[in-house]
Amino acid sequence: MFAPTFQGFKLILGSSSFSRKKILGEAGYQFTTMSADIDEKGIRKEKPEDLVMALAEAKADAIVGKLKTIEKKEKYEDPTVVITSDTVENSQSKLHGQADAERTLLITCDQVVVYEGEIREKPSSKEEAREFLKGYSGGHAATVSSVVVTNLCSGLRKGDWDRVEIYFHDIPEEIIEKLIEEGIVLHVAGGLLIEHSLLLPYIKEVVGEIDSVMGLPMALTRKLVEDVL
């Protein structure tokens, strides 16, 4: 079952990101996860701040829709049964039927990297990842991370974004090739994973919070949670 958090509210992290799960867990929160499975390429904005906010909101809408579908299915199959399993899919069937289960918060996020004014999302290929990493070498980039918190009981939703500046030493080509061969950088915004043991020695300076670079700015998340309670 969900463990009580945030004044008795239960928590869903709308992300499958290992880094976000790690940050939230290390902050002491108990939660379950769901994925939105949206077409992120179908949402386009010129400004990075607008893009990450639009994507985080779209993810929230998609997950809320999933929860409503699950609720309807459970009611159709057996409207008299109270589900108490330890999975999001089953326990959320109570979201709109019982007051206690409605006390749930949903956190959704998104992130892009900005390099020389260009928005960078997840690399589409090894070649693009290589181009991204070579560009960072000896240079500067920024992460723009959004957080949207939805109170599933009241429907109240708040969101905002956080920006962090990152400065790099020269990154040796052999390090770039090892990162690409390993493959993890293909699944993160801008191919940028500064906490990786191979890349970390070449980080010159980070202006902002590391958890924001990793995808979940906790100070902002706590503020938004308070705003929707």
Q: Determine the average pLDDT of the residues in 181-187.
A: 95
The pLDDT of residue 72 = 74
The pLDDT of residue 69 = 84
Residue 158's identity, in one-letter code, is K
* Residue 85, C-beta contacts closer than 8 angstroms, at least 6 positions apart: 1, 91
Closest CA to 107 of 200, 29, 26, 198: 29
In tens, the pLDDT along 50-71 reads: 999 999 999 999 999 999 888 7
The rounded distance, in Å, linking the Cα atoms of 20 and 29 is 12
Between 37-41, 188-192, 198-202, the lowest mean confidence (pLDDT) is in: 37-41
Half-sphere exposure of 172 (CA within 13 A, CB side): 6
Q: Catalytic residues, which ones?
A: 86
Q: At what angle do helices 126-136 and 173-182 cross, to 10 degrees?
A: 140
In tens, the pLDDT along 67-121 reads: 988 877 766 665 544 334 343 444 344 444 444 446 899 999 999 999 999 999 9
The pLDDT of residue 85 = 36
* Residue 76, C-beta contacts closer than 8 angstroms, at least 6 positions apart: none
Cα angle, residue 93 at apex, residues 109 and 10 outer, rounded to 5°: 50
Mean residue pLDDT across the chain: 88
pTM over 0.95: no
Burial of 53: CB neighbours in 10 Å, binned 0-12, 13-18, 19+ = buried
The pLDDT of residue 75 = 65
In the block, tokens 């503020």 appear at: 223
